[in-house]
Each structure stands twice: as C-alpha cells, then as structure tokens.
Structure 1
C-alpha cells in the first residue's frame, strides 16, 4: 500500500462518501475535495468539509498510518497548521494540533469498495518491465499523444531548472551558461562532468580573446582537460604543449583534476575528438548565442552540424598514432542529441523569460527529430507504444524514470485510465 492510492481515491472520488464519519464519530459531508498539486505541503489544498454541520475550509493531509504525521514531523511544520481533515488507511495513533486539539480523522479503507482495492492490487501485481505492461495496449493513440505532450512539457521544465541554476552561477550570463552546458553535453554521460569542469576553468571571455587562432583553442581545451601530459615524440603535441604553457601563464588558468575517460567509447566519441570538434565549432561560430536568440538558426548552417576537425586530427584519434584520413564531422545523430538536450531547452527557457510562448514550435521541432534508440525506447516499442520521434522517445524516457521507476502509477494518465476502466 502506498499513499498514491489514497490520493487516487480522494482525487477521483472513488469512495462511498454518503455516510462518512470521523474516528471521533462526527458526521462528515465533503463539499469540495480540494486541489491536488503534488507539491510539498499538505496533499489537498482548499478543501471544504462539513463536520457535524459546521463548514471547515482548509487542507487535507493523507497517510498510510496516522502515526506518519509525527514520523514526518508535521507537528512542527507551520505548513500543516491549517489541516482540517486527516485521511489515513490505518488509525494507529491520535494526532493533535499544536494547541492540543485532536485533528478530525477518517479511516479511508472503511469507505473504499473491494473492487477498487482489488483493481489497484492487481495493477501492481508481479511487475515485469513496468507495472502496466499487460494493460498498456488499451491506452489509445490519441490519449498517448496528449500524455506525451504533457510529459515533454514536464521534461522541459526539468531542463528549465538546470538552466536557471546555471544562470545563477554565471550571474545571469546567458551565453556563458549556454557555453557550459553545451560543452558538458559534448562529453556525453561518460565525460560530461569533466567537460563541464573544463568550461568552468576556461571561461568564455578567454575563449573570445583567442577565437581567431584555432591552434590556441585546441591547446586551451585539451590543456585545460589535462590531456597534454604525454611525452610522446609528436610534433603537433609539442606545439600544443608549448602554446598551452604560454596561455596558461597568460590567463592564470587551472586544469581539471581528472582527465577525460576513453573507457568503452567508440573512437568517434573519444574526448580528444569531441574537444577538437568543439574548438572548431567555436572558431567558426563568432556569435555563439545566435543559436538560442534566433530559433530558426538551427535550420540554417550554424557550424555545429558537420563541425569537423583540423588536419592533424583527420589522421589521429590520439597523439602519435596515425591512421587513414577521416573527416570526423559532427554527425546528424550527435547533433540531434545536442538539439534535444541543450539547444531546444535553452530556446524554450530564453524565450519564456522574454514573455514569448514558443512551446508549440519547440514541440514541433522535437517531433521532427528522429527518435533516440536505446533499451527504454525499444522496450516501449515492443509494448506497441507509438514511439517514432524524439518527442516520443524523450517522453517515454521521462515517463520510465519519473513515473514507472518511482511507482507513481496513480499520477500517470495511463494508470489513471486503466484504474478507471
């Protein structure tokens, strides 16, 4: 038993509320069940309840056990002083307000039908990949479309929180914040944190001063990432070492503590190649924030899609080991990842703060990008869920991590729909 079942019963009025009584034997008539926000604080806000004919207006709090009130320390939290009704599954303890009066309490299991409880129990019985996989086919394509758009908006709000946090750390410098997050995502999951530290140790203002010299940019990125320590006899390595030594002293730069990893990476994702591609992109893109300021710029040549590497790196993945010439450009699939996780979220947040609503345009752009292929999207496809674009893949990834894995089935449109059959 989880509290989400109690929330579900109350939200959708799945209880027999014609003869409600508190454990104190007071008659209860619910005028308004209140508003469920799913945020911190009481579970339902602004409810209206008659208790023995007296109308009370305030909040409703729910727990599996009445004693959870004290386990969660609500007795010392001012946010819970306006609770007018305590709804529990097991009444194992009387709960008192700060003034010593007892809070009216309803034992919900006395008013829930066996059918509703059995449906909930069956729904969560013997889960495999996700709890509803035996029933998910009953969720039609139109409902999926609406739910996936809601999930994508939640996902964008999650991106918003990260971007706002970065803006605070950069004193509201949008271009610096974008530079940091973009470089972080160039490192993917394995090297993202190291690349992020590079961006913090190598501010954009320094990059701007050296932007006209590609060799300087390569030296700055590789040197700050602690990747020029090799003693190989390689002419280009020696050039970069000498260049970085000069620039490090000139700008008083710090290097990252940890070097990027090559572990389990394909050569095209080696940190050397990704940092050199980023240097090439910065070299050719004089106004970095144009990608965000002008949403249509992502459809034009913005030097990111197809960003290549300099001559040396066309025949090397690491220093000193030569191979046949390869262009090593930023591929469409990698560019799509940057669009999905960096550029489009930044456009959404930036224009939102300017008071411009571009949510439809952003969602349409996600819809136009090929889906991400991974174990989660493949599993949902096997369950016959329509997953065809990045909007779909981002939605089901968010659904799996933030609903399925956390067992928030009764906050999910699928779970609610199936429970209401």
Structure 2
C-alpha cells in the first residue's frame, strides 16, 4: 500500500479500521473508548486517549507510525515527552517497542484491518491524475449543508490568517486603526498589479500628513502623486506643473522621499486601471473622507458602503487623460462596480472581522460575514474551475472560501484535513 502517516492518523482518529477482536501484538484484548485529541504540534500524535488493555483502563497518549521502527528513527526513544504513551499504533509492526526505562509499549498493528474501499478512495484522491482538485469526480455530489458548513469554517480560517497581518501592522502603527486601514486600503487600491507601490506610498506618506491638507485638494493630490514619483521628470500641462510646485514645497516641509517611479506597472492594464488613474481616485477618496474607518464601523447598508467609493470624483484633468501630458478621448474615471466590490471584499470585510476579533465583539465579525454574503461572487480561474465541477457560487462568501480551499487544501492534497475530503472518504 502507498500512503502517508497522515492517512494512519485519519484512520485511527475516526476508527476507520476493523475493530473485530482487537488485540495488542502481545495478544492482550484491546478496547478503545477514546482515540484522543489529535495533536498537530510537537509531542505524541494523540493526547488524552482512553483505552482498556486486558483488565486495565489506561489514559494517556497514543503515537502513530507507518512502521514500529519509526519510533527510533524519529528520536522518540530519548524524548521524555513520549514516556507516557499508552499505545503505539502502526501499520507494520517490524520492531517490538521498549522505552529507555524498559517499559514495553503495547502495539496495535493495523495491517489487514484497513478496508480496501477506504484505501482505494484515498489513493484515488491523493495519487490520482486529477487536473483541477483531488476530489473533482465527487465534490459536485456533496450535500449542500455539508459543503456550506465546511466553506464557513474555511472562510473564517482565511480571515483569521489575513487578520494576523492586520494585527502586525497595528502594532507598528501603535494601535492606530485609521492609519492601518489607510495602508491596507492603499495596497488594495493597486489591486494585484500595483499593490506593492501603493503600499510603499502609503507607508511613506502617513494619513495624518494628508489630513492636514484635506481642505486643499490640490495639495493632497500633489502629496500623493509626488510621493508616487510621478512629479520627478519634465512636465508640460498646467495641472501637473501646479502639482509639482505644491509638492516641492511640501516635500521640504515634511522631509519626504518619493518611492521609485519604476515600481508602477502600466503594461497589460486597461487605461481605466492605470496607476495614475487609481492614484487620482485614491486622492479624491482621501479628500472626501474624514475618519474613513470610523465611518465604515458605523455604516451598515451595503449600498452606502459602496457609495463611499463609487461616488468619488477625480480632478477634471483626468476626464480626458489617463497619464500626465497625454490627452485622450473623454471618459469617466469613476470606479467600476466590480472594482468597488473587490475593495469591500479585501479591505472592508477583513477589517470588520479583524476589529471584531481584536476587541472580542462578535457584532463586527458577523457584519464582515454578512457583507461577504451580500456581495457578488468573484469570477476568476479558480471559481470558474469549481463551477465546471458542478458547484454553484452565489456570493463572495463562497468564492472567498473556495479560494482558500483551493490554495491551502486542494493544492497541497490535504484531503484528510478537509471536511469535503472526509465526507467522500467515509461514504458508505
């Protein structure tokens, strides 16, 4: 048989082996009351298990190996953390186990006790020739309630992981939620292509500096375009020349150093998504929003949240420009609905969740999940693949969960840790 130790963990955890006439390798009757709590950190694999060997009831740890000899190979013989192991569960008992204190550890061998059908399902998922995900042949038939429950758990995992970055930034920003939100919002304004330069821009230009000039849109625009490095070369039009004049003064006043202009990417972007247009929109948002994160904590209606971004109006110069000094046909530079929704998904929902988690307020966590439930599903290669496998994706709650499922479970074939994989393996 070809399988990993994780498979044996799975078989033991869910008792998916023939339990008829269970005996240790020494011939003593074995009864399992509890397989224990699966330990994914260092130490024995399962803790606080309860078993009966002969007439004696034991409580303690269980260690699982493919072969009994792995105990020595893994260095457990000299590790005191394994002294209270009450049962050694192995596929192949190739070596009797004796601890340093001469105590023999009872061993249960699972060879010939694992159902062939269970192994066949496992082998097909983990070692098969699937093109999209390991369980692509079966995922479309999974009960909707089971799928929804698992997606909820996976989505929370995704938000918890992303929240660690928020917490780290919050420490650097001395607990300032407004500044931290501003930095993350800026990074997401660049979407994937220009996320890095937008993030560097925000970190080089504190929100408090911009706040001092909220009543002067030209100065806010000058600070943003200047720090972005777009006012360094020769300029021709009146508008960018005015920005440069303002920035030269403010740059000295605040001892600012612009980021490298070459970091911004224009290639393979639609003109509406050029970084210059996004910077103009970002500047307009800064001008028209005061204490933006505080507003978001208060606003409950999704249309009102959308309007914070959809209603921003850039400087008139951008009505017929996508870049400085390069005229273009007149075109509105408002943010499209899909761009706004991406910001709501990646920034607002995350910060509502993070804020609720940080302050232990379920209200904001629930609002984050509700927001995702009311936003349309993202459309990308991953969601398209899941649709072809028979899944219906109705909102961003599900699409975000499926992104997490694909990137952190399916890609690594963590079928044994996946609620969907578990269900498929245990189908009768």
- Give TM-score, length-normalised by structure 1: 0.89
Matched, 1:6 2:8: yes
Query: CA, structure 1 residues 96+170, in 2 after alignment: closer, same or farther (shift >3 Å)?
Result: farther
1:381 to 387, 391, 405: 387
Residue number in structure 2 paired with 1:152: 155
2:298 to 272, 294, 300: 294
Which residue does 1:113 correspond to in 2? 115
Q: Determine the structure 1 residue equivalent to 2:408.
A: 402
Match of 1:362 in 2: 368
SS at 1:334 equivalent:
helix
Shift of residue 184 of structure 1?
0.7
Please tell me whether the aligned partners of residues 17 and 30 of structure 1 are also in contact (alpha carbons under 8 angstroms): no
Equivalent pairs, count: 421
- The yes-or-no answer on 1:178 pairing with 2:166 is no
| Aligned mates of 1:61, 1:275 — CA distance in 2 | 57
CA distance in structure 2 between the aligned counterparts of 1:222 and 1:93, rounded to whole angstroms: 70
Residue 213, structure 1, aligned to residue 216, structure 2: yes
Gap change, CA 1:231 and 1:103, over 3 Å in 2: farther
**Matching of residue 197 in structure 1 with residue 200 in structure 2:** yes
Task: Report deviation, 1:81.
Answer: 6.1
1:57 lines up with 2:62 in the alignment: no
- Quick one: which of 357, 360, 366 aligns to 1:352? 357
Matches of 1:237 and 1:160 in 2, distance apart? 38
Of 331, 346, 350 in structure 1, the residue corresponding to residue 336 of structure 2 is 331
With normalisation by structure 2, the TM-score equals 0.88
Larger mean Cα displacement after TM superposition, 182-191 or 347-356: 347-356
- The alpha carbon displacement at 1:18 in A equals 4.2
1:42-191 equivalences in 2 (<5 Å): 42-51=44-53, 53-64=55-66, 83-90=85-92, 104-124=106-126, 125-191=128-194
Partner of 2:326, secondary structure, is coil
Query: Equivalents in 1 of 2:313, 2:118: separation in Å?
Result: 60
RMSD: 2.8
Aligned to 1:311: 316
Q: Deviations over 1:372-411 (max 9, x none)?
A: 1111111111111011211121121111111110101122
User: Partner of 1:416: helix, strand, or coil?
Assistant: helix
1: CA distance between counterparts of 2:297 and 2:54?
60
| Alpha-carbon distance change, 279 to 15 in structure 1, aligned in 2, over 3 angstroms | same
Task: Please name the residue that 2:278 is paired with.
Answer: 274
**Structure-2 separation of matches of 1:69 and 1:110:** 21
| Secondary structure of 1:255 counterpart | coil
Say if 2:391 is the partner of 1:391.
Answer: no
Gaps of 5+ in 2: none
- Is the alpha carbon distance of 1:25 and 1:275 closer, same or farther for their aligned partners in structure 2, counting shifts above 3 Å? farther
Q: Given the alignment of the two structures, is residue 222 of structure 1 paired with residue 233 of structure 2, yes or no? A: no
* Corresponding residue number in structure 2 for 1:15: 17
With over 3 angstroms needed to count, the CA separation of the structure-2 counterparts of 1:218 and 1:103, relative to structure 1, is farther
1:262 maps to 2:266: yes
Residue 42 to residue 291, structure 1, CA distance change in 2 (3 Å) = farther
More displaced, 69-78 or 393-402? 69-78
Secondary structure at the residue paired with 1:317?
Answer: strand
Q: In the alignment, is the contact (CA less than 8 A) between 1:308 and 1:327 conserved in 2? A: no
SS of match in other structure, 2:360? coil
Separation (CA, whole Å) in 2 of partners of 1:188 and 1:76: 52
Q: Judging changes above 3 Å, is the alpha-carbon distance between structure 1 residues 365 and 297 closer, same or farther for their aligned structure 2 residues?
A: closer
Native 8 Å contact 1:234 1:319 kept in 2:
yes
Q: CA deviation at 1:129?
A: 0.8
Please, which runs of 5 or more residues in structure 1 have no aligned partner?
none
Task: Tell me whether 104-113 or 342-351 shows the greater mean CA deviation.
Answer: 104-113
> Which residue of the partner structure matches residue 417 of structure 2?
411
